[in-house]
Structure 1
């Protein structure tokens, strides 16, 4: 299921980014002693009490400002609030309660989300009493912390944890064996139209139940006796939201859908081509090890000759060289051209994603590859491929044991991956190769 989300909000320079870095354990957010440094949302995953969750760092809110930057920050903060299960409202204990804090508190109250007030910069015992001023904001939980000195962080995370939804849902149990397909991509490429086109033909509707992503509807259905769950990542927000048209709009939604899917279908607009955000969105699916299918939508609107599809595919491959194994389908949600084919290929990709190969078979293929192209040598020493085995699925992961791991060049590793793909297909799924060094006495 999707990891729950915690959003950090507050006025500028109260220590939001310092708290973010403290919680995720990395220096991901820029921290400087001046306001306005963090302008866009920053995401990271972390874990508390054996539960993974996402943390969003947001820009400092200045509700009285009306310039372009302040408007964009507010848009990003509103989106973070909208997506979060729980909000941590960071205030400066040394400065004390301000009118700006009270304005933000009113905004957070209207969201209807649980809010925990984190009174920051209480790094000495004599400062603890400063937290009492903030009880007047009226929220249930107010906790004194020092993000810089890691004081009170455990108590804060315990309070956050209490607001997380249960770790399992009825949806996970009902559709455990169904192929979960997330339709991802930047705004306005036709994601919802594609889903509507898919659901409009040859379907036996099983159920429509609320998914674990807030306001999302996961649609379960059957096609040719294969059960699917479509995870929509678009079209579920109220019209008129200021952040609706921003580039960042689909990022968190895509992240949460990708976490729950088996196959991610990246929708590209044939008319507008490929932009950087397409690469960013599909990069999340690749990092998560998900099967991937590329659907080029609005194909009906393209003037074609005998080589149009071939040239378009060549262009896609040049933009996504890391997706050479991902199938490409040219579709039209408007005319329903080849929309059924998207699911047929997604089902094949899901099967390959979960495919397990016997160790003896893997070793045979690898040894044949080694015989055809021997491993490289370096200063008279040769890399020896000792044996190989598949150690995981979703995605297929292979461990190759060698005498000297440092001698494995990426090009030879890619060669072995290509040979495994030639033998077993693995259409639509990434593959991971782990190079492991065996015993030291076999190094020579």
Structure 2
């Protein structure tokens, strides 16, 4: 976990909590929309306000509701966010004025007495906002900070309110050593947190699985499809190894996505895939593999991410052997560009197979990031050409001279030679599949580029 002190943003729906969160972290990470209740899970990010550094936590809107309802479960997540926090920002809408909900939750916060409360009167720009902010004194939470998250006004006042609370909790600065050799850099990369995204169709059990990994009800779950709306990154550790778990919104077929908020959620999931190292596509074992799962998998591979497929709800699956073999065969057919993608069985409800999932995720990340030694690469290249020499296009032999690895993450190679533009796709596929089998790169997206030497007589 981050050593930074945590500051939690609280308030009823649609007062601008997520806009304030985005302002403090300096980027649009949380989804923002005019309709209330967009945020459902708590989202964390690192914020800096002048020389104050802290972990900022966005939460769902506080609403009075039955504990079993979706709103009630969202409120429970908000209450859990207060545990261990250094401070809370209670946000009200200065333009709308105080509501009974504001008064109710202000009383609740005073009774809790867990953490220092900073009252933020948001949307306080202009005369109307300033006059409306004066009502906030009636809440009994001290002087309100007049703020505009949309326009960035009031940052200095917010700093003055937080400084006495957070200053004693600031972490010591750590000096980084820039004189690292390649081996040390590689070891540091291996020790870095695994960026692991869980994606799939709605109601596949992504949030339930993450809660089981964390051993806590960290994410809102339930029978309703589409509860998760934006991607939530959570710092965690598996057997002492750091992990950044990323829960994402369910991705339906594009033709079915009509609602503007759902379109924003799907775009947010795609961004999460871009920043992940390993992506787990979670399938509902009671439904099997569908065309949308293959579309998601293809997108993951197109982005060059390492892919794992996991059959969730395995504890209630019927005819398990037939199901597993059927999904495996369908993956082989549907993902012809990649062979050997790991297929695992898990249960977010019981915890079955989750340790194996994490073990395979770390192993896959290691293969995705490693560089093949030059000697081993050249031995493979010579053996591959000897087993199956390149064809002669138009009666003239294509000359393949040597290969080099240009980069990792994903593994990317360049072959140099003459007339490589005439090399048929079938031979390129032969080389890639041979590379997977011989160099231990099975299941990874491999980039193979061909570079022909220019003819000086052309």
Q: 2:74 aligns with which of 73, 76, 81?
A: 76
Deviation at 1:101, TM superposition (A): 1.0
Map 1:8-407 → 2, pairs under 5 A: 8-20=9-21, 22-23=23-24, 24-26=26-28, 29-32=31-34, 36-41=35-40, 47-49=46-48, 56=58, 58=60, 61=62, 63=64, 72-73=70-71, 75-83=73-81, 85=85, 87-108=88-109, 110=112, 112=114, 115-124=117-126, 131=133, 133-134=135-136, 137-139=139-141, 142-153=144-155, 156=158, 159=162, 162=166, 232-233=212-213, 236-237=216-217, 245-247=223-225, 248=227, 255-257=234-236, 259=244, 268=283, 270-273=285-288, 292=308, 294=310, 298=314, 302-303=318-319, 308-315=323-330, 325-330=340-345, 345=360, 348-358=363-373, 389-391=405-407, 395-396=409-410, 398=412
Alignment size in residue pairs: 362
Q: Look up the SS of the partner of 1:312 in the other structure.
A: helix
Deviation at 1:328, TM superposition (A): 1.3
Unaligned runs of 5+ in 2: 174-189, 237-242, 247-276, 393-400, 452-457
Q: Look up the SS of the partner of 2:244 in the other structure.
A: helix
TM-score normalised by the chain length of structure 2: 0.51
Deviation at 1:365, TM superposition (A): 7.4
Q: Give the whole-Å Cα distance in 1 for the aligned partners of 2:376 and 2:206.
A: 42
Deviation at 1:115, TM superposition (A): 4.4
Q: Structure 1 residues 353, 16: closer, same or farther in 2, change over 3 A?
A: same
Retained in 1: the 8 A contact 2:411–2:447? yes
Retained in 1: the 8 A contact 2:89–2:118? yes
Q: Look up the SS of the partner of 2:77 in the other structure.
A: helix
Retained in 2: the 8 A contact 1:184–1:266? yes
Q: Look up the SS of the partner of 1:236 in the other structure.
A: coil
Q: Look up the SS of the partner of 2:328 in the other structure.
A: helix
Unaligned runs of 5+ in 1: 169-175, 193-212, 217-231, 375-384, 438-443
Once the two structures are superposed, residues 367-416 of structure 1 have per-residue CA deviations (whole angstroms, 9 ceiling, x without a partner) of 989x9599xxxxxxxxxx99854545xx45548699xxxx9xxx99x968
Q: Structure 1 residues 433, 113: closer, same or farther in 2, change over 3 A?
A: farther
Once the two structures are superposed, residues 286-333 of structure 1 have per-residue CA deviations (whole angstroms, 9 ceiling, x without a partner) of 98956746355637953267x553212234567888986531134789
Moved more, 278-287 or 346-355: 278-287
TM-score normalised by the chain length of structure 1: 0.52
Deviation at 1:425, TM superposition (A): 2.4
Q: Look up the SS of the partner of 1:147 in the other structure.
A: coil
Q: Look up the SS of the partner of 1:25 in the other structure.
A: coil
Q: Which has the larger radius of gyration?
A: 2
